[in-house]
Amino acid sequence: MAPATSLVVGLMSGTSLDGVDAALVDFSGSHPRTLATFWHPYSPDIRRQALQLQAARHDEIHAAALFANQLAHCYAEAVRDVLAKSGTHPEHVAAIGCHGQTIRHQPAAGYSAQLNNPALLAELTGITVVADFRSRDIAAGGQGAPLVPAFHAVAFGDPKRHRVILNIGGIANLTDLNPGRPVRGFDCGPGNLLMDAWIERHKGLRYDEAGNWAGQGQVLPELLHSLLADTFFATSPPKSCGRDEFNVPWLERHLDGTERPEDVQATLLELTVLSAALAIENWCGNPDELFVCGGGAQNVALMARLQQCLPDRRVASTDSLDQPADWVEAVAFAWLAWRTLRGETGNLPEVTGARGPRILGAIYPG
């Protein structure tokens, strides 16, 4: 049954662990229209708990359940804030599409775990919640990720130009939009998460603004070669990754302890750029344009280096396509929730490796 209203709130809290992106989106027209956005930062305590739950710990089931409850309250605040910003009453919203906070991504083992309490979120907001988007794709033999390429095709596809969309959040993923060919997409490696973790350790900062600290260092060729030798980079799509593969202990195994911290930061930025550029070269053919979204689009040094590595292609943020780079994923999960409400499939088997198209998500009525 079609929803009575066309408004959906999309919520995204990604591997960067910085907070919740909320977007109110109107699906009444031929293309999604974003009415309002709001960023709700994580408190230091929530971020600390999320990081601790990335690895096995004592009493983790209890800790994870309590953390999911905290997240529901955090998500509810983000929903209230974005609705207040737009002057929208909750009864006029068809659903909330809530991705949840990923703490483990193990598709080879048959699961991907996103902490969330969608039942509590529905109670707190009075709005229907669509959640658990990845499980059905994994049950059908897929990776469960990335899921945003289907939305990228709707929002950014062009019938005459071969475009690649690079989303740089904690993890980086690519969507290949080649006219006349099936949409392809896959995770290509670490995005911001290693750079964020490294500058927090050495500078006490949450991220390297504009890539300024990386710009003070020099790329270490031997370290870069060692990092790029990880088997993930040479693996053919479909593929996905997360903090399970790329984390500080993984980085430390490649260090000898004599490196200057700013040189490591410069090398990590180069790792993000080269892993994406090599993936484009190996699996996306010869695109005309590269559009970047996610937090990485704000990293001036990273964007400049991407253009240097891809000199014959236009490199720009998705802002130039009328989709602000910071909000693409939140809008994408609103779109996925809208698809679920309408009984329409949301995955792309060519991207995830699933046996076929599937309706994604579980619905918790408001």
Q: How would you classify the pairing of strands 171-177 and 362-364?
A: unpaired
Whether residue 179 is found in the same domain as residue 313: yes
Q: Is 152:164 a contact under the CB 8 Å cutoff? A: no
Q: Give residue 18's domain range.
A: 7-145+326-364
Which pLDDT score, from 0 to 100, does residue 258 have?
97
pTM score, whole prediction: 0.93
* Cα–Cα distance measured from residue 59 to residue 192, given in angstroms and rounded to the nearest whole number: 30
Domain presence at residue 1:
no
Average pLDDT of the residues in 195-223: 97
Average pLDDT of the residues in 133-149: 96
* 183 burial via Cβ count (<10 Å: 0-12, 13-18, 19+): middle
Cα distances (Å, whole numbers) of residue 37 to 33, 34, 84, 200: 11, 8, 10, 27
Domain presence at residue 70:
yes
pLDDT for 210 beyond 60: yes
Per-residue pLDDT tens for 275-290?
Answer: 999 999 999 999 999 9
* 192 burial via Cβ count (<10 Å: 0-12, 13-18, 19+): buried
Which pLDDT score, from 0 to 100, does residue 14 have?
80
Q: Which two tokens stand for residue 144?
A: 């469960």
Which pLDDT score, from 0 to 100, does residue 1 have?
56
**57 — pLDDT class (breaks 50, 70, 90):** confident
Of the two residues 51 and 130, the one the predictor is more confident about is: 130
Whether residue 256 is found in the same domain as residue 154: yes
Name residues whose C-beta falls within 8 Å of residue 266's C-beta, 6 or more positions apart in sequence.
214, 215, 216, 217, 218, 219, 220
Average pLDDT of the residues in 162-191: 97
Domain presence at residue 2:
no
Whether residue 118 is found in the same domain as residue 204: no
In eight-state DSSP terms, residue 131 is E
* Cα–Cα distance measured from residue 5 to residue 105, given in angstroms and rounded to the nearest whole number: 34
CATH number of 31's domain: 3.30.420.40
pLDDT for 2 beyond 90: no
Whether residue 237 is found in the same domain as residue 346: no
pLDDT for 327 beyond 90: yes
Q: Which two tokens stand for residue 208?
A: 């390297």
Q: Which two tokens stand for residue 122?
A: 């529905």
Per-residue pLDDT tens for 233-262?
Answer: 999 999 999 988 999 999 999 999 999 999
Domain presence at residue 89:
yes
Helices (H), 207-298: 221-228, 231-234, 248-252, 261-283
Average pLDDT of the residues in 112-123: 96
Whether residue 194 is found in the same domain as residue 308: yes
Per-residue pLDDT tens for 145-167?
Answer: 999 999 999 999 999 999 999 99
Whether residue 303 is found in the same domain as residue 336: no
* Cα–Cα distance measured from residue 185 to residue 167, given in angstroms and rounded to the nearest whole number: 11
Which pLDDT score, from 0 to 100, does residue 17 have?
82
* Cα–Cα distance measured from residue 185 to residue 175, given in angstroms and rounded to the nearest whole number: 4
Whether residue 320 is found in the same domain as residue 198: yes
Whether residue 111 is found in the same domain as residue 178: no
Whether residue 222 is found in the same domain as residue 315: yes
How many domains does one find in the chain? 2
Strands (E), the chain: 7-13, 19-26, 33-41, 95-106, 111-115, 129-131, 163-168, 171-177, 184-190, 289-293, 314-317, 362-364
* Cα–Cα distance measured from residue 153 to residue 178, given in angstroms and rounded to the nearest whole number: 10
pLDDT mean across residues, the chain: 95
Which pLDDT score, from 0 to 100, does residue 50 have?
86
In eight-state DSSP terms, residue 41 is E
Q: Is 215:185 a contact under the CB 8 Å cutoff? A: no
Q: Is 68:116 a contact under the CB 8 Å cutoff? A: yes
Average pLDDT of the residues in 304-329: 96
Whether residue 300 is found in the same domain as residue 165: yes
Domain presence at residue 335:
yes
Distance of CA 281 to the CA centre of its chain: 22
Cα distances (Å, whole numbers) of residue 114 to 2, 106, 134, 242, 246: 27, 11, 9, 12, 17
Whether residue 98 is found in the same domain as residue 160: no
Which pLDDT score, from 0 to 100, does residue 117 have?
98
Domain presence at residue 131:
yes
Whether residue 204 is found in the same domain as residue 255: yes
Q: Is 248:194 a contact under the CB 8 Å cutoff? A: yes
Which pLDDT score, from 0 to 100, does residue 214 have?
98
